[in-house]
Structure 1
Amino acid sequence: MVASWWSRAGLGIFVHWTPASVPGWAPPYVPADRLPLAGRRSPLGWAPYAEWYENALRFPGSPVSAHHRATYGSRPYASFGGDFNDALGNWDPNAWARDFRRAGARYAVLVAKHHDGFCLWPSEVANPHRAGWHTTRDVVGEFAEAVRAEGLRFGVHYSGGLDRTFDDRPIGTGADAVSAVPRGSYPAYAGAQMRELIRRYRPDILWNDIAWPGSPSDVQRLVEYYRFAVPHGVVNDRLMPHAPIRRALSLPGAKALYDGWERRTTVRGEGSVPRRPPHHDFSTREFARCTRPDPYGITRGIDHGFGYNRDFPPEAYLGREALETLVRETAAGGGKLLLNMGPRGEDATVPAEQQLRLEWLAELTRELTPDGCVPG
């Protein structure tokens, strides 16, 4: 049974903030179901997801590659980590936490490690492929302390399924993503980092992404460790363990079948639909509604992606009416809304268009409930 505090937590704030937030760029929005129809055999290389900047660079003909050549020349993606660290001197986690509370949020989830492998804490688990690929400031710890001081629960996102420092093959489709989950030394590395996050920060939410590189027994031991350390904690539905069937995607035609299934779910408006792993407390959806009777959460950006995109026009962001409808309908359906913020990497600030949406949420939550929080 899911923890009682999560059952009452209507609104949460997701924060995607990585070295990709320094260039902060992705191509114009095209609905996911239309990208393949436009002749894109590798739609994820053309998608409007700025947080996937490094992956899009792997496709020489992609809009991101053209933008990067014109703006940065041959500068490697890894160099943006230095810019990101330099900007942390301007970061005020307490101001962010106050804004989240005023917006009516009851919890906040920080991306501690995204698919580029960059860690937002000075991890003691050394990356064997890219030394020093982490923040010098303990962003995770300071973020957790700030949001908890405002009465919010703290969650940690970890990309267990992808890490481009271990496997940097281009990911163009969902089948490519499944195939790119690293093996070898990566399962032990990811397990050690996840335990380090649990031990140091005791997150109220363990939000894994994509899949888990280890075996079913590895997942079971990890979840048991988490539940022992954080008895009131909740786990999302993306700790899908490694299975030999993944190797079947190397068979002729298998990837096409998988990608066809994923495209059909997108066209039906179901968004990203994770399979049910053996251990989870709530299900997730991205940019889609959910009608499941079990505990569920909807996650989406304020715009068409998650990471900061400096070229998104004002109309790319949720309008006031659409935002209010999303909040009200999700709450009425018993779901939780995890709404994403994508701060800028060059100065550690929340863009004005996103800040405005937080102010709208603050006005809305004052109308909905006397305690200033979106009801669950």
Structure 2
Amino acid sequence: MTTQAPAQTFSVPDKWQWFTESRYGLFIHWGPYAQFGRGEQVLFREHMNQAEYADAASAWNPERFDPELWADTARKAGFKYACFTTRHHDGYCMWDSAYTDYSSAKQAPKRDFVREYIEAFRKAGLRVGLYYSWIDWRLPAYFDGPEKDPEGWAKAKEYLHNQVKELLTNYGQIDHFFFDGVWPRNADDLGSVELLEEMRKLQPNILINNRLGYSEQHDGYRADGGIGAGDSDTLGDFGTPEHLIVVDRKRLWESCQVTTWRLWSHVFGERWRPADYLLDMLVECAEKGGAHGGNLLLNVGPTADGQFPPEFVERAEAIGRWLDVHGEAIYGSDGGAITEFITRGRQTTRGNNLYLIIRFWDGRPTLRLADLATRVKGVTLLTTGQTLGFAQQGDELVIDGLPQEAPSRLFPVIRVECEGPPEANAWGKQRLWEGDPHRVAEWARAQRGTSVYRDGQER
């Protein structure tokens, strides 16, 4: 089933236009958990010994970490921004924090990985984002909460707030901030509304995600009081559907997705999704996003010694080469799904151009596009630059001169230049399983009749 997202009515401030123009960001999950090779949550999921884990984390020393190589790879792959895990749920800090010695700066590496990442990615011309986990599996007070341990909770909350403000004070401009791990607390426990105000004072242009906890004051009452409800309906500048591509109609959004089958940090023996699958997620985000978000934040889990896995690099650079040719269909695009197109692929638009992104190349010389109401000026096979012939009668466009062999190992793209912003007729604006059912009745009645017999005639 495919649906056409209703138009979004909110406006995007100029300071955040970079986000909608980017469409494609790199998520980096990296920390001492990488040395176990079983995911970023191995401490909890395997119920490991906390002290033994801390010893291993403190001894971890990734000597092959080269942030400039990371940034160069990200740039070649077509990413426009990145988000780096400063501290995950295990509590280990990847920067020189004044509030703990459990960090890369104080333990074996003696390096501030956050600073090195930020400087390298800025130098490469990429926007920078930081991930920070509310939850810390080392701290009993986080789970006991303010009612059971008010003194311990106050201390834990102060630690969280101080670290966030530290990250936004010591490293220059931060464009993007990704909170995670609210459970079992809520926004009122965490004081996330107050923290947001402090964050915006420190970084007026920052984009902050919606994983801030549910607040009775801002989101209204929920039967569970917001416990376990990590995403706020109203707080935060962008939504973060995880492992899903779902439109957030209230604000900007980005889908965070793995390049492997499931886990975020480096895993020994994990299975990798193919490049066309990853590219399709990017195209789907652009198609559904419109001018108000619809980004893909695609993850990599570097190895314990600090390298991007070769499987990731191969796939990311293949997508980067595709974007070198077809990037105008993605970056700064205005959404798509102008007409029903799922039998061929996906659509995006930009200005007066409609882009037909062909997932299924059938080798036939012609392609028929129904229900396009806007007049067409020209058609180009963007993949090769070849001008294609076309004929338009009413709302039907027939494109000809297509090669038998697909001109790209990934998705070929056809650019349809229109006389104005592409628009569909009434039929094209509706989809299967939705819209006015009477239109289907009229279509069947007008073209074949009303009966169950082959010719549609009543007997």
Question: Residues 375 and 167 from structure 1, CA distance in 2 versus in 1: closer, same or farther, beyond 3 angstroms?
Answer: farther
Matched, 1:11 2:27: no
Aligned residues: 302
Q: Distance in 1 between matches of 2:141 and 2:160?
A: 16
Q: Determine the structure 1 residue equivalent to 2:41.
A: 52
Matched, 1:332 2:308: no
Please state how far the C-alpha of 1:152 moved relative to its aligned partner.
Answer: 0.7
Question: Residues 242 and 279 from structure 1, CA distance in 2 versus in 1: closer, same or farther, beyond 3 angstroms?
Answer: closer
What are the Cα deviations for residues 275-310 of structure 1, in whole angstroms up to 9, with x where unaligned? 325431111111111133331110011011101001
Question: Residues 332 and 134 from structure 1, CA distance in 2 versus in 1: closer, same or farther, beyond 3 angstroms?
Answer: farther
Q: Determine the structure 2 residue equivalent to 1:362.
A: 320
**Counterpart secondary structure, 1:99:** helix
Q: Determine the structure 1 residue equivalent to 2:311.
A: 353
Q: Determine the structure 1 residue equivalent to 2:259.
A: 302
Amino acid corresponding to residue 101 of structure 1 in structure 2: R
**Counterpart secondary structure, 2:264:** coil
Please state how far the C-alpha of 1:132 moved relative to its aligned partner.
Answer: 5.0
Q: Distance in 1 between matches of 2:232 and 2:194?
A: 18
Q: Determine the structure 2 residue equivalent to 1:261.
A: none
Amino acid corresponding to residue 88 of structure 2 in structure 1: H
What are the Cα deviations for residues 171-221 of structure 1, in whole angstroms up to 9, with x where unaligned? xxxxxxxx9xx8342111000000000001231111111227763793233
Q: Distance in 1 between matches of 2:159 and 2:187?
A: 10
What are the Cα deviations for residues 200-258 of structure 1, in whole angstroms up to 9, with x where unaligned? 12311111112277637932332222222222210100112677999x979xxx99xx8
Q: Determine the structure 1 residue equivalent to 2:272.
A: 317
2:58–2:107 Cα contact (<8 Å) kept: no
Match for residue 244 of structure 2 among 288, 303, 309? 288
Q: Determine the structure 1 residue equivalent to 2:201.
A: 228
Q: Distance in 1 between matches of 2:117 and 2:316?
A: 18
Q: Distance in 1 between matches of 2:123 and 2:99?
A: 28
The percentage of counterpart residues that share the same residue type is 25
Q: Distance in 2 between matches of 1:135 and 1:243?
A: 43
Q: Determine the structure 2 residue equivalent to 1:112.
A: 86
Q: Distance in 2 between matches of 1:340 and 1:17?
A: 10
Q: How do 1:14-163 residues align onto structure 2 when only pairs under 5 Å count?
A: 14-25=27-38, 50-58=39-47, 76-84=52-60, 86-87=61-62, 89-126=63-100, 136-160=110-134, 162-163=135-136
Q: Normalization by structure 1: what TM-score?
A: 0.71
**Counterpart secondary structure, 1:298:** strand
Please state how far the C-alpha of 1:363 moved relative to its aligned partner.
Answer: 1.4
Q: Distance in 1 between matches of 2:300 and 2:199?
A: 26
Specify every segment of 5 or more residues in structure 2 that has no aligned partner in the other structure, as ranges: 1-11, 334-459
1:22–1:344 Cα contact (<8 Å) kept: yes
**Counterpart secondary structure, 2:41:** helix
Q: Distance in 1 between matches of 2:118 and 2:107?
A: 21
Specify every segment of 5 or more residues in structure 1 that has no aligned partner in the other structure, as ranges: 26-49, 59-64, 69-73, 171-178, 259-272
Q: Distance in 1 between matches of 2:127 and 2:234?
A: 25
What are the Cα deviations for residues 1-54 of structure 1, in whole angstroms up to 9, with x where unaligned? 4511112121000000011100112xxxxxxxxxxxxxxxxxxxxxxxx11110
1:302–1:354 Cα contact (<8 Å) kept: yes
Q: Distance in 1 between matches of 2:142 and 2:197?
A: 32
RMSD: 3.6
Q: Indicate the structure (1 or 2) with the bigger Cα radius of gyration.
A: 2
1:223–1:279 Cα contact (<8 Å) kept: no
**Larger fraction in strand:** 2
Question: Residues 336 and 135 from structure 1, CA distance in 2 versus in 1: closer, same or farther, beyond 3 angstroms?
Answer: farther
